[in-house]
Structure 1
Amino acid sequence: MKKALIGAAALVAAASLALSGCSDPGSGGGSSAPADWPAQDTSLEGVDLTIWAAQNSNTVPESVVSGFEKLTGAKIDVVTIPDPYEQGIQTKVATGDKPDLAFWQPTGSQLTALNASTNLQSLEGAPWVDSFDPALKDITGILDGTRYAALVSTPAVEGVYYNKKVLADAGVTTLPTDWDSFLQTARDLKGKGVTPFYEMGGDRWATQWWVQVQLADAAKDGLWDRVNAGEEKFTDPTILGAIESYQGLIDEGLFNSDIKTATFEDQGDALLNGDAAMVVQVNSFFSQLQAKSSTEELNDSIGFFPIAPSGNIGTFIPDQSNALVAFKTGDATREAAARQLLSYWLGDGYQDFVDAQATVSLQSSVTTPDTVPTALTDVSASLGDSVGSMQALAIANPDLYIYLADMIQGTKTPEQVAQATQDQFAELAKAQGASGF
C-alpha cells in the first residue's frame, strides 16, 4: 500500500508525461474501444507477453500465468520494477518503453499520470465487467468516461482494526457508530488504563488515514471536486480542521507513547499483542497480521469497522496491486493477447486466483475462499457505501503524510501542514494544466 501513497514525486513525472503526450510512434491517441475481445482459449503459440509488477505484487499473477500459458501456449514474463514503482514506470513509459500489461493504481490521478488516452488500451466492452458485484463495477479504473484498468481484487479501505479481547475486557460491548462514539470509546479505554490508538509516526505513510477518514462526509459532498477546481483549499476549515483534530487527539494522550518512532511492524505487533485497542489503517496492515497469525487466530482476535464523522462509512483507496492496465504497444497481436489474458484472469482463471491469493472475490459467481479472515470480508462489505480517498478523487496527491509526520515530530503546526500540502497540490495541479491554479 505504501507504494500507492508516495504520490507527489510521481506526479511531477506524470505532469511532464501527460503534457508531452509521449507515446509509442506506432500507436495512436484517443480512447476508442478495442476491436475485439478474443475468446479465453484462443491459441497464442509463439506470443510473448510482459507484465510489470512491483515488489509487493510480483507474485500475485502466479496462478493466472500458469493457467493461461497452459491454456493458450503463450509465454508470460513477470518483470519486477524496483521501488519506487510508480516513478520507475512513468520514466520508462516517457521514453517509449512499455510492457503489455502492468499493475497500476486505478485512480483518476494515476491513470492521468500514464496519459491513459494515449498510452493505454481502452477496456470498454470487456466481457468480464458485468460479472462484477454491482457496487464495485464502476468504483474505480475509469477516466473521462473510459475504462482503462481491470480491477482484480477489492480496493483497500481506510478504517479501524481493533483487538476484540482488549475491547471486551474493558467492557466495550458495542462498536462505535460515528466519530463521537469512536472518540468516547477511546476516552473510556484510556480511563481504564488501555492505550486506545496506535500510530506509526516513525514510518510516516499511514498518518494521513486519520485525516482522510474525518473527511469522508465532506468527500461525499464534493470536497475533492472543489479542491480540484481550486475552489477549496487544504488550508480552509474542513481539511485544516481534520488536521487540528488529529493533533488534538495526540495531545490528549490517546495514542501510544512512542508515536514518534513507532513503525509499521510495531503497529501490527501492538494490536495483535493487545498493547493497544485500535488502529486506523488499510488492507496492507492486515496482510502484515496474516503473516504473523493464522486465519483462526485472526478471526478470534481482530475485527474491523469503517468510521466517518456521521457513521460507519469507509474511505476506499485502490492500490497498484488491485488492478492492471494494458498498454498500446503498436503490436496488434500482443494487444489482443493482453486483452485475452485479462478476460481469462477475470473469467475462467478467477476462482483459482482468489483461492491462491486468499482474497475476497469481486464476482458473485466466484466463491470467496474460507481462508479469508472475517475482518477482510467486513472490509469488502464496507466498499458499497464507501467514499473515495484523496488518492482516489483528487487530481494530484501531495505528501500530506510527510507533513503530518513532521507535525507528530513537533516540527510543523497543523496550519503549516495544511499550507505545505496546499502549496504542493497547487504546484502539481498547475503542472498538469488544471484550471484554477
Structure 2
Amino acid sequence: MKKRFRAAGLLAATATAALVLSGCSDPGAGGTESSAPAAWPAQDTSLDGVSLTVWAAQNSNKIPDSVVAGFEELTGASVEVVTIPDPYEQSVQTKVASGDKPDLAFWQPTASMLTALNASTNLQSLDGAPFIDSYKSELRDITGILDDTRYAALITTPAVEGVYYNKQVFADAGITDLPANWDEFLEVARSLKSDGVTPFFDFGGGTPWATQWWVQVQLADAAKDGLWDRVNAGEEKFTDETIQGAIDEYDSLIKEGLFNENLKTATFEDQGAALLSGDAAMAVQVNSFFGQLQSLADTAELDEKIGFFPISPSGNVGTFIPDQSNALVAFKTGDATREAAARQLLTYWLGDGYGDFVEAQSTPSLQDGVDTPAGVPQALLDVSASLSDSVGSMQALAIVNPDLYLNLGDMIQGTKSTAEVGQTTQDQFAQLAQAIGASGF
C-alpha cells in the first residue's frame, strides 16, 4: 500500500518532467488529436476474437478480477491484466514513450499526471461516455479532466487527507465531540499530551511521503479560494505566507512534542500498529493507511476502534488526492476495433458490472443507482462522505508536483530549515513548470 502514494506524491515531479519533456516527440504517439466523438458500443456487443490488455500496479492488479470475468463471459473478449513493476507511473511512462501501449491502464487521474501521459496524443477522450451521468453529482467532475476533456474514468472513491483517530483513546480522555476546526484539533492534541498520551503519529524514516499531508490539510481553505490557480500562474509561491506558514506550523508542532518520539526513524508500518493499539491517538493520513489497518484487524474491530474526520483551518473540509487505483484511462493504439472494445469494457465496468465490482471490492459506490455493499467499514464510509465538500490537493490541482514530502523529510531529519523547505520546493515547482511551458515561469 505504501508504494501507491509514493507513486502519487513522490514520483509525480520527476515523472511529469520526464514525460512532458519527451512528449512532444513521443515515438509512440499513435493516433491524432481529438476529432469526432467516439461511438460507445453497447455493453453486450460481441467481441469474439478480440484481446485487450490492461496495465496495473502491484497494488491494483487484482481490482479488475470480477469485472474481467463478467465481461469475458458476456462478450467473448479476452482480457489480460499485466502487472507493471513499481515504480508504476515511471515504468508506464517509459513504456509509452517508447511506443509500448496497453488498451487500458490504471492511472492517477489528476491534471498533472494526465499531462505526464501526453493525454491529448496518447489517450482516448471519454467525453460522452454513457456512464458519466451515473456518477453521484459531487463526484462526476471531481477529477479525470484535462483542458476540458475527460480522459480518466473514476472507479473507486478518491483518497482523502484527513485524521484517523483511536475512538477508545478519545473516550478514555473524555473527548466526546470531534474537533470542528484546526484550533480545536490542536486543543485536543495538547489535552491528550497533558494526560500522557502521544497525540500524533507520523514517520520520517525511509520515504516520508505522509509528511506532506500535514501541510496540505492546512491549505484546504486557501485551495478553495484559488491557491493552486495562483501558484500555477506564478502569482503565489511556496515561500509566501500561506504555504510557508503551513510548513512552519508543522515544524512547530513537532518541536512542541506532539508527535511520537521516534518520528525520525518510524515507518508507515509502525503508524498503523501505533494507532490501532492506542499508543498514539491520531494520524493525518489517506485511504492507503486504512488499507494497512485492514491488514491488522477485521471490520468489527476497526469499527470499534478507528474513526475518521476531515480537518481544515476553519472547519472539517477534506483534501482529496486520487491515486492510480482509483481510475482507468484508455489508450489510442491505432487499432479501431480494440479502441472501441476498451470503451466497451469501461461501459460495462461502470454499467452492468459495477454492482458486482463494488461488492467484490467492499468499497463505497460512486453511483446513485448502485448501493454501497454492507460490511464496508464506517471510517471508509466517512471518508467517502467527506468528498462532497472536499477540495483538491496539490497533486490534484497543481500543474506539476514538486518533492514537498522529501523536503519535509529533510526538515524532520534536521538537514533543512523550514525556509529551505519552502525555497527548495518553489525552485522545483518553477523548474517543472518551465519544462511543460507554463506561463509565468
Aligned to 2:368: 364
Q: Partners of 1:88 and 1:16 in 2: how far apart?
A: 16
User: Could you say if the C-alpha distance between residues 108 and 32 of structure 1 is closer, same or farther in structure 2, counting changes exceeding 3 Å?
Assistant: farther
Aligned to 1:225: 229
Choose which of 376, 387, 401 in structure 2 pairs with 1:383: 387
User: Any conservation in 2 of the 1:304–1:378 contact (CA below 8 Å)?
Assistant: yes
Choose which of 114, 133, 146 in structure 2 pairs with 1:143: 146
Letter in structure 1 aligned against 2:20: A
Q: Which moved more, 1:9-18 or 1:299-308?
A: 9-18
* Shift of residue 22, structure 1, vs aligned partner: 4.6
Choose which of 429, 435, 439 in structure 2 pairs with 1:435: 439
| 2:24 match: secondary structure | helix
1:345 aligns with 2:349: yes
* Shift of residue 23, structure 1, vs aligned partner: 4.1
Choose which of 407, 419, 426 in structure 2 pairs with 1:422: 426
* Shift of residue 21, structure 1, vs aligned partner: 5.0
Q: Partners of 1:181 and 1:22 in 2: how far apart?
A: 54
* Shift of residue 385, structure 1, vs aligned partner: 0.3
Structure 2 counterparts to residues 29-178 of structure 1, below 5 A: 29-30=33-34, 32-34=36-38, 36-178=39-181
Percent identity reads 72
Letter in structure 2 aligned against 1:15: V
* Shift of residue 167, structure 1, vs aligned partner: 0.5
1:260 aligns with 2:280: no
User: Could you say if the C-alpha distance between residues 81 and 327 of structure 1 is closer, same or farther in structure 2, counting changes exceeding 3 Å?
Assistant: same
Letter in structure 2 aligned against 1:128: F
* Shift of residue 95, structure 1, vs aligned partner: 1.3
Q: Partners of 1:13 and 1:338 in 2: how far apart?
A: 27
Q: Which runs of 5+ in 2 are unaligned?
A: none
Q: Partners of 1:23 and 1:430 in 2: how far apart?
A: 24
Q: Partners of 2:348 and 2:170 in 1: how far apart?
A: 44
User: Any conservation in 1 of the 2:214–2:284 contact (CA below 8 Å)?
Assistant: yes
Cα RMSD of the aligned pairs, angstroms, is 0.9
Aligned to 2:308: 304
Where do 4+ consecutive residues of structure 1 move more than 4 Å?
Answer: none
Q: Partners of 2:35 and 2:263 in 1: how far apart?
A: 47
Letter in structure 1 aligned against 2:21: S
1:314 aligns with 2:323: no
Structure-2-length-normalised TM-score = 0.97
| 1:20 match: secondary structure | coil
Structure-1-length-normalised TM-score = 0.98
User: Could you say if the C-alpha distance between residues 32 and 241 of structure 1 is closer, same or farther in structure 2, counting changes exceeding 3 Å?
Assistant: farther
User: Any conservation in 2 of the 1:207–1:405 contact (CA below 8 Å)?
Assistant: yes
Could you report, residue by residue, the CA deviation over 1:278-337 in whole angstroms, capped at 9, with x for unpaired residues?
000000000110111111111111000000001000000001000000000000000000
| 1:296 match: secondary structure | helix
* Shift of residue 14, structure 1, vs aligned partner: 2.3
Q: Partners of 1:378 and 1:21 in 2: how far apart?
A: 42
| 1:160 match: secondary structure | strand
Could you report, residue by residue, the CA deviation over 1:75-97 in whole angstroms, capped at 9, with x for unpaired residues?
01111111111111111111111
User: Could you say if the C-alpha distance between residues 70 and 212 of structure 1 is closer, same or farther in structure 2, counting changes exceeding 3 Å?
Assistant: same
* Shift of residue 257, structure 1, vs aligned partner: 0.2
Q: Partners of 2:91 and 2:77 in 1: how far apart?
A: 27
Letter in structure 2 aligned against 1:174: D
Q: Partners of 1:301 and 1:341 in 2: how far apart?
A: 39
Q: Partners of 2:83 and 2:242 in 1: how far apart?
A: 40
* Shift of residue 19, structure 1, vs aligned partner: 3.2
Letter in structure 1 aligned against 2:126: L
Q: Partners of 2:35 and 2:28 in 1: how far apart?
A: 14
Choose which of 386, 401, 405 in structure 1 pairs with 2:405: 401
Letter in structure 2 aligned against 1:13: A
Q: Which moved more, 1:329-338 or 1:4-13?
A: 4-13
User: Any conservation in 2 of the 1:151–1:324 contact (CA below 8 Å)?
Assistant: yes
Q: Which moved more, 1:7-16 or 1:333-342?
A: 7-16
Q: Partners of 1:303 and 1:329 in 2: how far apart?
A: 45
* Shift of residue 135, structure 1, vs aligned partner: 0.5
| 2:161 match: secondary structure | strand
Q: Partners of 1:277 and 1:18 in 2: how far apart?
A: 46
* Shift of residue 18, structure 1, vs aligned partner: 3.1
| 2:200 match: secondary structure | coil
- The count of corresponding residues between Structure 1 and Structure 2 is 435
